[in-house]
Structure 1
């Protein structure tokens, strides 16, 4: 009994064609799944309590084709304008925010910038309307002389404001200082930071320092947020 060799030859050709088509498909899928490069982005946040929308320029840890993600216990540089005020600094990422504390920023070989929690603006109110505890303090001090009563209430407000700054999930410079830092960033190549004091937030390698590249994407993101200096 004998077998023709022709069908075997055709079968081998079919296998080769299918194999080549598979390789082409894998290459195309891999190309389409390539992650975009890490760069600065414009991120919009909405506050459901104040109905205010803020556009912030920042970076992330995980980039996909449609989203950028940050990690808890990681810090990220940010630039934004709130109530007409420019802010430049570091903020905590992820779902669960942690206090940032005092920080230092340095662009290339320029002198490092010290940014403390004391100069950081906080979005909290200690008025009686927004904080019922103020009413409680007022009730306790109602029998005190007017001057002492005012002193106690003001001391409480200062303490609340100081605590808010200390445990703020971001630390930022404002005004002319923020503008000067941003100008250096736009001319620079690398931004490095480190945390100071009680804050020991790890980032990219388990230390208290971090590094971010400064490139054209920074200006593009600033334009999207309409942030100008």
Structure 2
């Protein structure tokens, strides 16, 4: 716990909150007799704390952006993948308390479990130190300028951009196909190719089929001189 507190740059007055934030439901179920709580309630609260802090940040940072753009940027900043990246940065998986089945199934590396635990940690800091402490942590881990630029890049819809480019000329046919997948079920990497009139013009990979297709479309745009 002390090692993780150093990474968080926050010392808990009530260490039990951090312990609960790291307790997966599978662990709590196996220790039901001890009356242990899982991190699900903290995750629920952390989602709201994260949403508020991020909304306030974007409202101040972008005074000219309309509501729709602010909503899209916030969604990208607080998405599961962003939270998973924070968890990896903290090596949060090594601190999780998992049940035997979840442990055997690779739960320490599962994207959804790590993302949920990140939100639970945000809530634990909020309950222990207030909104100021939670905001400072969220800003440091998620809302710095470099991170926002990365999110802006991620939320670009390369498939739509490629489709619009191809449609400038009549008779062009655009299609996608999966080229393969590798890795265990909880951490698969998918590969995709985009074809223009039957010829491969771009390929890419990602943690989902949608992400792989976006990466392939981006590569195609670059090959066609559009990025």
* Larger proportion of helix: 2
Q: TM-score range by the shorter chain?
A: under 0.3
- Which of the pair has more CA radius of gyration? 1
Pick the structure with more strand per residue.
Answer: 1
Higher relative contact order (CA 8 A, sep 6+): 1
Q: TM-score, normalised by structure 2?
A: 0.24
TM-score (norm 1): 0.23
